[in-house]
Chain A
């Protein structure tokens, strides 16, 4: 891995993250979990689901569920723009699409630049945050995408084989 400082190599790992925007905040996903990025395509609504589960899409013959991350994080819903994308994420068991406002770039962030998420107490559950990354003056909220996609709201737990 290209590294600028030999010290970094020895003392901390550098991982790549795909960053994207939701409203004014920036988030990051481990790049290894990202399968592909596509523009918005027709989403078929599946009834009787919480509002953040938008439905399913047809990706080259495969049927994948799609989540609206804004609604999952309880932001207000906004109009889709040209920059709205679907990131296809591989959780190891299934592929899922997540709708985000804008995809930014792939960033290298070293471990030492990632801090643990601050605790807000019971008012805000931050289990799904792996850490807060700092790059120059930007704050990147690094998500544990598997936890994000665990839907206790529907009373569903991942089945263990």
Chain B
């Protein structure tokens, strides 16, 4: 080991040649790798990280700090080569310098000069208290800078949360630890830059704790993980509060406690009492329903380059493409085009049509977002809920890379939260009960998503109590939902009772669930997304919820049918089957109600012409087409004249004037420019029953 390389290093630092410095340190790292000397290896990592994050011209204090580091490494390398371990002073020095590097991102030179002086004198004890960055903005933070800050801070917080949850399972994962550290570090930096001192202080104190974890002083488990999560939550709420007012907000409740908790982190090793663990569920709901203003994260595993685009622009683009598709169909439908003998015209037109189709697929893909963040939020929710309810729950998920339309992701969050809470609160039994039943003490909740038949399927499974049919029926009788003894109801019909407003079999209302206002809202939310929800359950074993949703909300796959001279649209998702019934499949009940018999099942049959007062339609079911769809508790058939075709249609809302009609989901513009009404078969049955 000669001194040449260290002279080169000193020169590159003094001449502010960052790339060269990087190169030299990488070389040093390679040298030391073979010798397996962890602390110094880590220290060199720090330097590399620091250099990589360096922007613009390094200040004088930065250069001095780097020189101090170089001074340190030089003799240490000698020792290492002579097989000596770092002695205590050297170890301390290394710590100080490592902290020095990380604190260099503050803009105030004076502070850094102070620290570097004490570091070089070797008097400092390790973690220096940085005074608050004196702000040059003494009024409210300039509002132009806020949105970018909020966006970046929230992104950092979300990334940290994901890494933190993974760390809870595996506290020794260095990558995740660095990820968390980097994100808090960044928040400290950017909040200092815009003058948000409280946020900066909280981020800084948490960063200090994380630094201790990185240096092996603590492991990120138990109370340490918990306090970091608390800090994360508080930061989230502080950043979110900025959205509504740019004045420096009041410190939230518990801020000072949290700060002192972080400062006195060594005490966390002692057993804490459970009242310290506060899980604020209301803020959870806020974080779960918050959506960031960007479409996708800016870096993913594949290293895909991404840019942030405002969603309004994106939506406008997609709307415009939708219009283009419609306009194209309208031109294509013109006789002059279809019957044209002009070769060039038809081939050019066909070419244009292909391009437009490609454009449509691309634009639909733009709105697609993966379910990853939603599922990760669920992981956090289950963890917090199980802590609160004192159950042990293992949460697994799969299919988080399944992509769905942005709007679906936003809308699915609330229903999922609700179902999750039900599972934790009513489904999973406490460990003693489970063991008695021969189940493992730890409950299992699994969330899966996949594409099936042009739709997204989301399955939520828990191995808890399952639904108790007797209890549901008796409660239903009690509140007069049914007036029989319930024995004739199928499983499906019994389970569907829980979707009635106000229904709940909970003996106790907790603030997690039990009030009976959730399941019907859940079903309505899903139906508003034009989806379906089914429940499967076995008492004592568990419950599975299956939600089916269309891939996008704006465009659906649909069948166009006609009744007399009117055309209607039924989403393919709603159709169970369609057939031209044979005479022996049809019958009447008491001469008035028509039914169709399918594989032994008797289903009611209705004429769309009767429901919608359409004149001139076919009245004989044998000559028309019967479409079997799902109603509330059972399936039913709708008689129409003909099937005109299957196509993808753009859904347009008809307007608030028509919002009260049960059974109409909206309108679609067909290829000839005319509008056809889209049926909502789940609600149509309500209209039929009211006729």
Contact = CB atoms under 8 A, between A and B. Distances in A.
A42 B612 contact: no
Contacts of B676: 44
Given A58-B675, A61-B326, A61-B669, A48 B612 contact: yes
Given A47-B612, A56-B667, A61-B326, A42 B660 contact: no
B591 interface: no
Given A58-B674, A63-B667, A159 B612 contact: no
Interface in B661-687: 661, 664, 667, 669, 673-677, 687
Given A47-B613, A48-B612, A57 B657 contact: no
B323 A63 contact: no
A159 B657 CA distance: 11
Contacts of A46: 654, 658, 661, 664, 677
A69 B59 CA distance: 76
Contact of B657 (A44, A58, A151): A151
Interface string A29-58: 000000000000010111111000100111
Contact of B687 (A48, A151, A158): A48
B617 to A, nearest CB: 13
B653 interface: yes
Contacts of B654: 46, 56, 63, 65
B600 interface: no
Interface string A56-87: 11100111110000000000000000000000
A90 to B, nearest CB: 13
B667 A44 contact: yes
Classify the interface of chain B: helix, strand, loop or mixed.
mixed
Contact of B675 (A44, A53, A94): A44
A58 B654 CA distance: 10
A63 B655 contact: yes
A44 B674 contact: yes
B676 to A, nearest CB: 7
B674 A42 contact: yes
Contacts of A1: none
Nearest to B324: A61
A94 B653 CA distance: 12
A65 B658 CA distance: 9
Contacts of A53: 657
Interface string B605-636: 00000011110000000000000000000000
Interface in A145-161: 151, 154-156, 158-159
Nearest to A62: B652
Contact of B669 (A63, A94, A151): A63
Interface residues of A, number: 23
Nearest to A94: B655
A42 B612 CA distance: 19
Nearest to A67: B657
B101 to A, nearest CB: 53
A45 B677 CA distance: 9
A100 to B, nearest CB: 19
B654 to A, nearest CB: 6
Interface in B232-273: none
Interface in A123-161: 151, 154-156, 158-159
A86 to B, nearest CB: 15
B594 interface: no
A61 B658 CA distance: 18
B561 to A, nearest CB: 14
A65 B674 contact: no
B326 A156 contact: no
Contacts of B327: 61
B566 interface: yes
Contact of A49 (B326, B661, B674): B661
A160 to B, nearest CB: 12
A159 B656 contact: yes
B566 A45 contact: yes
Contacts of B611: 47
Contact of A58 (B612, B669, B677): B669
B661 A58 contact: no
Contact of A48 (B652, B661, B675): B661
Contacts of B655: 56, 63-65, 94
Given A63-B652, A63-B667, A63-B669, A156 B674 contact: no
A151 B657 CA distance: 8
Given A58-B669, A63-B669, A49 B675 contact: no
Interface string B134-149: 0000000000000000
Given A63-B654, A94-B655, A156 B669 contact: no
A64 B612 CA distance: 20
Contacts of B613: 47-48
Contact of A44 (B660, B677, B687): B677
A94 B322 CA distance: 21
B684 to A, nearest CB: 11
A28 B72 CA distance: 89
A68 B660 CA distance: 20
Interface in A104-123: none
B658 A58 contact: no
Interface in B549-606: 566
A62 B319 CA distance: 11
A123 B655 CA distance: 32
B333 to A, nearest CB: 13
A49 B687 CA distance: 13
Contacts of B322: 61
Nearest to B674: A42
> Most A CB atoms within 10 A — which of B322, B566, B674, B675?
B675
Contacts of B674: 42, 44, 58
A42 B613 CA distance: 19
A49 B677 contact: no
A83 B325 CA distance: 33
B356 to A, nearest CB: 15
Nearest to B327: A61
Given A61-B323, A63-B667, A63-B669, A56 B660 contact: no
A154 B669 contact: no
A63 B661 contact: no
B673 A63 contact: no
Given A42-B673, A56-B658, A159-B656, 6 more contacts: A42-B674, A44-B675, A56-B654, A58-B674, A65-B658, A154-B657
15 contacts: A44-B674, A44-B675, A44-B677, A45-B566, A48-B661, A57-B675, A62-B652, A63-B653, A63-B654, A65-B658, A94-B656, A154-B657, A156-B660, A158-B656, A159-B656
The 4 closest A-B pairs by CB, nearest first: A47-B612, A44-B675, A63-B652, A61-B323
Interface of B: 322-323, 326-327, 566, 611-614, 652-658, 660-661, 664, 667, 669, 673-677, 687
